[in-house]
Structure formats: C-alpha cells, structure tokens
Amino acid sequence: MKYKEVYGQWQADPEAFWMRTAEAIDWIEPPTKALFADDPANCHWFADARVNGCWNAVDRHVEAGFGDQAAIVHASPITESEKTITFRELRDQVALFAGALSRRGLKKGDRAIIYMPMIPEALVAMLACARIGAIHSVVFGGFASHELAARINDASPKCIIAASCGIEPGRIVEYKPLADEAIDLAARKPDFCVVLQRQQAIAELVEGRDEDWEEFQKGAEPSSCVPVEGSHPAYILYTSGTTGQPKGVVRSTAGHLVALHWTMKNIYDVEPGEVFWAASDVGWVVGHSYICYAPLLHRNTTVVFEGKPVGTPDAAAFWRVIEKHGVRALFTAPTAFRAIKREDPAGSLIEDFDLSSLKTLFLAGERADPDTISWAESHLRVPVIDHWWQTETGWSIAANPVGIEKLPVKPGSPSLPMPGYDIRVLDDEGAECRRGELGAIVVRLPLPPGNFPTLWNSEDRFRKSYLERFPGYYETGDAGYVDEDGYLFVMSRTDDVINIAGHRLSTGAMEEVIANHQDVAECAVVGVEDDLKGQIPLAFICLNSGCEKEHSAISAECVRLVRQTIGPVAAFKLAAVVERLPKTRSGKILRGVMARIADGRSYKIPATIDDPAILSEIEVALNSLGYPKTN
C-alpha cells in the first residue's frame, strides 16, 4: 500500500483505522472504540481498555519465545564499557525493581521522578513504573537543581530514582547532590529516594530517606503487571514553554502504545528483531518514545548510547556502534551530524567501518538544514529522512514514512502529514494561507492517539497555550508553509522557545533567572544562529541606576546564575550590558529585531518603536560580542 492510500484510509474512517492499528497491542480488556471525546479538545483514546505498557514492551516478547533476544545494548564509549540485556533479563530486572517500589509504597497513580544518565537502569526504572501503573517523570541530567525542584513541586512525586552521577567529557556530574539540593528547595518532599551508585562517584545517602539501588531490591517479590485504564497517564514529561514554569506534558497509556508501535514499521521501516538506535537522551521525548518504549514494544533491540558524537573518543563514535551492533536505523538530531562534519569534514573516518546494516538515517529535534542532509547522504549513502514532532505529540506529525513508501525527499522539509494529523497553515486572522505562504502551523482537532490530552495540574494552561488562539485546532507553536506538492516546511517558532542542539529551552525562563540578579533592572534573551547548535541564547542586560560594577563581571555572574539555576544544557554564555532595550511605545521588547541584528539579517524598524536610536546601541553591544558573525 502507498502513503496516499494509508493516509486516505485514516481520513475516510479514523475510528476504523485506529481500531485496526490497536490490534498490535496485547489488551487485558480490549477497547470497545477508539475515540472517546465529549468535545474535540477533550479526547481520550481507547479509554475503556485495560492494558499494561510494560507487558507490551517486555513480558509478551519473553512469553512469545524471544527471551534471549537482546532488548538493550548499552554502548558507553564514555566509560569504555558495553553491556547487553536480553528481554528475559530485562523482564526479571524490571519485575524485581517494580516489586521493591511497591513494597516501599509506590502504587498506581503515584508519581516517581527519574534523574539518571544514559544507563539501562533508567529504562528499568521507567518500565518498572509502567509495570505498577506509577507515573514516571524523567528529568534530563543537564538540568540543575532549581529545574528539578520545579518539577518536584509540580509532580509531587512519592519517590525520586537517581544515579549517583553522569559522565560528561572531562568531568563527572554528581547528580545526587543536585537531587538533594532540589529536594531542599522543593516545597513538597518525596517519601523516599533510590540511588544507583556508580563507581565514578559514590553518593552520600540520607538515612531513612535514601535507599541504595541494590539493597533496596534485596528480598523483594517480583511484581506482576498491573492493569491500567487506557487513559491512565503513563508519564509526565516537562518541556519548556514561554515562562520559567515548565509544562508537564501528560502521555496517556493506550494511545501511546498503539501509535508508537505503528511508527516502527511504517515510519522507521524496521522489522521486529532488528537493531534500532535513537542517539538522544531518556530525558527528552525522543528518548521516551524511541529509546525506551517504541523499539521495545515492537521487539527491536534498542541502543542506549552514553557518549557524544564527537570526543568519545572521536568523530567515529557513531560508526563504531553501527558496525558492531548492526544498527538498521539511526535517529538523531542534525546538530550531532554538524558536530561530526566539523571534526571530519571529508567523512574519511566513515570509510573505516562496515555500515552496510544501516538502511536509513532519521533526523528530528530541530530544522534539518539542507547542507547537513546532503553531507550525511553522500557519506552514509542511505536516505536521510527529516521528520517533525514535539514533546506534546510524542511521535511524528509530518514524516516520510519509508516503511510504507519512500516519498521523494525535499531537503528542508519533513515531508507529509502522518495519519491522524490534518495539518493546516493559518494567518493571524485564522484564515488558511495559500500554498507557499508562511503562517502558524496547526493541527485540526482531535489530535491522534499518543498525543497529550492535557498538561499536568494545568488544564487552563493547556487550553490557553494550545487551543485558544485558533479554535478547533492545536497550535503547534511552529511557523512554516506548505508547498505546491503538499510538503510541509517548518521554519521557526512563533513563541519564546529556542532550540539549542536539538534541546528545547525557554528564553523566558532565562530572563527570569537573570532578572533575579541584584544589579539587573531588566533584560531580554534571544536565540541567535550558531553553526553547531543551531541556536544559542544571548542576553541584553540593563543595570539598575547607580550600579558601578564592571559590566564584564555582571555578565559573567549572569552566565553563572543561569548555569546554576537552569543547568549547563542552556548553553548560555553570551551577555551584553546595554543602556536600554528597544521597545514599542506600548512597552513590548523587540526581541525579534534584536535577534535579526545579531544574525546579520535585514530587518524592518517597526512603526511602533519608541526610540529607533536604541537599535544602534544594540548593534554596538553585539559587535563587542563578535556579532553578527562575518563568515
């Protein structure tokens, strides 16, 4: 069947399409229908079913005779180690850990925060939660304690599962002290913590609250899989919005199982038993969907990679893993390929490896620039497929579904909508744009299975952020256009979110941190173009009158503050002190204009600007930081 037929089948009868797709899942009680919706904005998929996510990802493969197949390969060039875990071993580890969590009182509906690096135990912890119906919330290790505390306050977890440390090139990041600090900062305290001690840094445990991972499990009864309703939240994943308060994206169980399973063959073109590798982190949605759940649901071996595309130890790290493990499909962010291309522009390291197992490279997380696509295509000699999605959606909104039919690739475009998504581009008044005309990208409601039904604790914010501006549609927050052939081009965000090395961060959150500095009167953070990371943040800072401190000292303090508060992942290093910020007469800061000046792009001076002379001051400040870049 061709893409058009599959998409057409969904359009003709969405209910039948999703019920048929749902047959791939083992139900404890099957759903009687797919969509449960009192209005299109409030919909739940397979809500009356009963199911268990862990059973579908792990146990059923053991029962079906695939217990000896590798479920997880932990490839860790940063620790120079490697380990394989079979489905049977994974089931036993997950069941025991789940049993220990239950014994300590974690039960269906309770939240557990997981703060771990790229180690198999992170997946064990996620799956153990799924096994007992606990709701996990994984927090990326590059976030600092303040961010972790914000998530603890919002999710009010009964427990925190952490590793003692993560390992970054040249340094050990001690996670446990960060977790301790976050617990101190948080208004709500977890009942208990489980700490996996890694030999690179042994953490101190707090008596009565902290449990050692190994000791904690001794004598526990392995837990069976607890049935949950189809609409039961499988997890909460916090993502950046326009303010410092992260948004808790909720993922319901059944829709996520059905949709993710469908994507493995239809989008990623892998068969059960093959090796699939998403080189991301479990702290991001890519990690949830494509390191943990989807490959395991589909009985693929998943690679948990603890390293970097370059420097661990070199720009051949990816090729080594692909050759050794026979990876069939690789999924990463374009920034990883830009990093490799920078180190090995001729791609000569690639020639030393047998990459014949690799059939496709998938890119997402940020706009895939045509240069990176063509470099990867010419050196890997496989199709390079861009696809577009978000934490909120959990899987691709637009893709090139190579498992159905490889559509012609248009560099710069993630191709066409996937079944379930009716994509439109709207202008400011909500009217549909013409082909080729830039506008807000929206999806007609209801969103398909696997998408978020709400934000944790924040139904109001959910409606305000996503549903109010264009009634009847989900507002993606991305801007772009659809060309004559129906191909989508995603160009930029319409809000204060920026994309740093495929990581989504809020400039608003950084502004909140900088504004807390005692000498800062006001500030604005914008995303500027960066050859490696796509975008990086740059701050313009105005000081309180009478402040005599050196400007460079204040900039450095703000950089430190953001690193300590949000975390190193914000990659915030550029700050300029300015006298004033350019604003409209109504007081709106002209961030877009400042970003264009920094990027050396042409800009129009808005008619509403209060004082155009300020723009020259901004130019001078940018020049002092080396912006706009001349090459």
Binding residues for ligand COA, rule: CB under 6 A, are 117, 141-142, 166, 168, 173, 280-281, 284, 286, 308-310, 333, 335-336, 339, 365, 501-503, 532, 568-569, 571
Supply the DSSP string of 340-400, one letter for each residue: HHHH-TT-GGGGGS--TT--EEEE-SS---HHHHHHHHHHH-S-EEE-B--TTTSS-SEE-
Q: Give phi and psi for 112, each to the nearest 5.
A: -135, 125
Shortest Å, Cβ 168 to ligand COA: 4
Question: Which of residues 52, 56, 239, 335 is near ligand AMP by CB under 6 A?
Answer: 239
Q: Which of 353, 312, 354, 303 is nearest to 330 (CA)?
A: 303
Choose one: 28-36, 255-263, 323-331, 472-480; the region binding ligand AMP (CB under 6 A). Answer: 472-480
Q: Does the footprint of ligand AMP cover residue 388 (CB under 6 A)?
A: yes
Output 286 or 349, the one with its CB closest to ligand COA: 286
Here's the x/- map for ligand AMP, 192-231, by CB under 6 A: it reads as: ----------------------------------------
Angle subtended by helix axes 614-624 and 591-599, to nearest 10: 50
Gyration radius (Cα) of the chain, Å: 24
Are 486 and 500 in contact by the 8 Å Cβ rule? The answer is no
Q: Which residues have C-beta within 8 Å of that of residue 556, sequence separation ≥ 6? A: none
Choose one: 27-35, 164-172, 474-482, 614-622; the region binding ligand AMP (CB under 6 A). Answer: 474-482
Q: Does the footprint of ligand AMP cover residue 524 (CB under 6 A)?
A: no
Q: What residues between 272 and 301 interact with ligand AMP by CB under 6 A?
A: 284-285
Shortest Å, Cβ 504 to ligand AMP: 3
Here's the x/- map for ligand AMP, 393-432, by CB under 6 A: it reads as: ---------------------x------------------
Shortest Å, Cβ 528 to ligand COA: 16
Q: Does the footprint of ligand AMP cover residue 365 (CB under 6 A)?
A: yes
Q: Is 104 left (phi over 0), alpha (psi -120 to 50) or beta?
A: alpha
Are 262 and 268 in contact by the 8 Å Cβ rule? The answer is no
Q: Which of 481, 486, 504 is nearest to 569 (CA)?
A: 504
**DSSP-derived 3-state class of residue 538:** strand
Output 301 or 507, the one with its CB closest to ligand AMP: 507
Q: Which residues have C-beta within 8 Å of that of residue 456, sequence separation ≥ 6? A: 154, 155, 233, 236, 248, 249, 250
Q: Does the footprint of ligand AMP cover residue 496 (CB under 6 A)?
A: no
Q: Select from ligand AMP, ligand COA, none the partner in contact with residue 95, using the beta carbon and a kind-dependent cut-off of 5 to 8 Å.
A: none
Q: Does the footprint of ligand AMP cover residue 251 (CB under 6 A)?
A: no
Shortest Å, Cβ 360 to ligand COA: 16
Shortest Å, Cβ 402 to ligand AMP: 15
Output 503 or 517, the one with its CB closest to ligand COA: 503
Question: Which of residues 162, 259, 294, 490 is near ligand AMP by CB under 6 A?
Answer: 490
Choose one: 112-120, 216-224, 292-300, 476-484; the region binding ligand AMP (CB under 6 A). Answer: 476-484
Q: Which of 403, 199, 393, 215 is nearest to 298 (CA)?
A: 403
Supply the DSSP string of 328-339, one letter for each residue: EEEEE-HHHHHH
Number of neighbours of residue 95 by Cβ within 10 angstroms: 23
Q: Which of 12, 98, 7, 9 is nearest to 57 (CA)?
A: 98
Q: Does the footprint of ligand AMP cover residue 247 (CB under 6 A)?
A: no
Shortest Å, Cβ 228 to ligand COA: 28
Q: Which of 266, 273, 290 is nearest to 326 (CA)?
A: 273
Output 107 or 342, the one with its CB closest to ligand COA: 342
Number of neighbours of residue 313 by Cβ within 10 angstroms: 14
The C-alpha atoms of residue 18 and residue 6 are separated, in whole angstroms, by 12
Strands 159-163 and 192-196, how do they pair? parallel
Output 41 or 497, the one with its CB closest to ligand COA: 497
Q: Select from ligand COA, ligand AMP, none the partner in contact with residue 390, using the beta carbon and a kind-dependent cut-off of 5 to 8 Å.
A: ligand AMP
Q: Select from ligand AMP, ligand COA, none the partner in contact with residue 117, using the beta carbon and a kind-dependent cut-off of 5 to 8 Å.
A: ligand COA
Output 131 or 591, the one with its CB closest to ligand AMP: 591
Q: Does the footprint of ligand AMP cover residue 241 (CB under 6 A)?
A: no
Choose one: 14-22, 50-58, 179-187, 473-481; the region binding ligand AMP (CB under 6 A). Answer: 473-481
Output 505 or 622, the one with its CB closest to ligand AMP: 505
Whether residue 14 is preceded by a cis peptide bond, meaning omega within 30 degrees of 0, is no
Strands of the sheet with 423-426, listed across from one edge? 423-426, 439-444, 473-482, 488-493
Q: List residues near ligand AMP by CB under 6 A.
A: 239, 284-285, 364-368, 386-391, 414, 476-478, 490, 493, 499, 504
